[in-house]
Amino acid sequence: MVRPTSSSDEPAKVEKAFTLRWSWLGLAFSFTERKLVIARQRRLRSVHLTLSYANASGEIDLHLKREPAPPGEDQYVSLGRIGPERLARLGEHFNQLAQRLAYLPMDHWRPVRPGWLSRRGYALMLIPKDVPAGMFAAFVPSKRRGKHQLTFAPLKDPAYQAQFADCIYDAAILPHLDAGALQLPVTAVSLRARRGPLLVAPFTVNGSTQWYMMPRHRMMEIGDRLGAEVAIYIGNGLHGEHARAFDRICDELGLSEIPELAEFVTGVRESLAAPLDTVQKAKSKLRAFASTRRPHPKSLTRRVQALYGSSPVPTAPPSLSDGPRSSGLRPSPEG
């Protein structure tokens, strides 16, 4: 797909629209600026699941398209629409949630010294900001019918993992690093003892820049908390129409026939069958997080409060300071 661009002083130019295509587990994916399409060829006909989000009406639309359609049935099967008013409410809710969770990591970032890391056998995995293309090319080694074939085999390939050996440095190099040239946060792994990996990143507070560290599992816990918050919000709005829509998608695309997706399909169906149970489990998880949240004595939270008497967010490199973006999606069909 191409689109012309022109001005009064220049001849018209043709700009190619963004399109990303790949294939995985027999499913063909197509992602553009206007829609996401998941397709599968089944029993001499093709089935497309389309999520369009750049409509003139401002709605998000989800539907199935079958080519050819079964005798006596429509080619299109509408699964639901989300109007612009609901999208605005969803965006506001998730932005508030993102702002709340943005402060949680501050409780766990604490100052770190290169000597402390070295004595405990830690080494730094330094990935340049301009990652060599070869590191990602291994996951899309070939094309078929114009689509990249996605594979995760390199994650288990010792030869692929060996290329990261050149990215491992002793922690003593930390004060001499140019943070602007690295993928942040930096991962620190222990080579001698069974210590968990750390995340290391620079922050500036009151004009002073210092390196801080956080156990990686703490960041994963924050991700789990975000998932629990989203599960509660979505679970409270689920009803039978959502379960029927998901069953229709699974039947048309044959997702239950794909062994790698069997656990996922079963889990979603169980959640849709008993959404209140999912909500209660998520609430229990949030209560567990609340009972264990105690800022480290030397955390960014304590340092900022000592300086300002409140908790303004300290400055960080763009890759760290950018908070999560809200999706604004709720699986509740309208109209």
pLDDT average, residue stretch 272-282: 90
**Residues 196-213 pLDDT 10s:** 899 998 888 777 788 888
Q: Is residue 32 part of a domain?
A: yes
| 36 residue type, one letter | L
pLDDT class of 230 with cuts at 50, 70, 90? confident
Domain-located, residue 222: no
pLDDT in tens, 145-174: 555 566 666 667 777 667 677 788 888 888
Note the pTM of the prediction, 2 decimals. Answer: 0.64
pLDDT value of position 250:
92
**Contact between residue 93 and residue 324 where contact means Cβ atoms under 8 Å apart:** no
Backbone torsions φ then ψ of 52, nearest 5 degrees? -105, 135
Structural domain count of the chain: 1
What pLDDT does 142 receive?
61
**% pLDDT > 70, the chain:** 71
Helix 84-102 and helix 216-235, axial crossing angle in degrees, nearest 10: 150
pLDDT for 245 equals: 92
- Answer yes or no: is 299 within a domain: no
Whether the pLDDT of residue 246 is over 90: the answer is yes
Domain contains 21:
yes
Q: Which domain holds residue 72?
A: 2-82
Task: Answer yes or no: is 217 within a domain.
Answer: no
Residue 160 CA to residue 156 CA, distance in Å, equals 8
Strand order in the sheet with 168-170: 110-111, 208-215, 198-205, 186-190, 122-125, 168-170
Quick one: angle between helices 275-292 and 216-235, nearest 10?
140
What confidence score (pLDDT) does residue 51 get? 93
Range of 106-110, 247-251, 284-288 with top mean pLDDT: 247-251
* Residue 61: pLDDT band with limits 50, 70, 90: very high
pLDDT exceeds cutoff 90 at 133: no
pLDDT band, residue 292 (cuts 50/70/90):
low
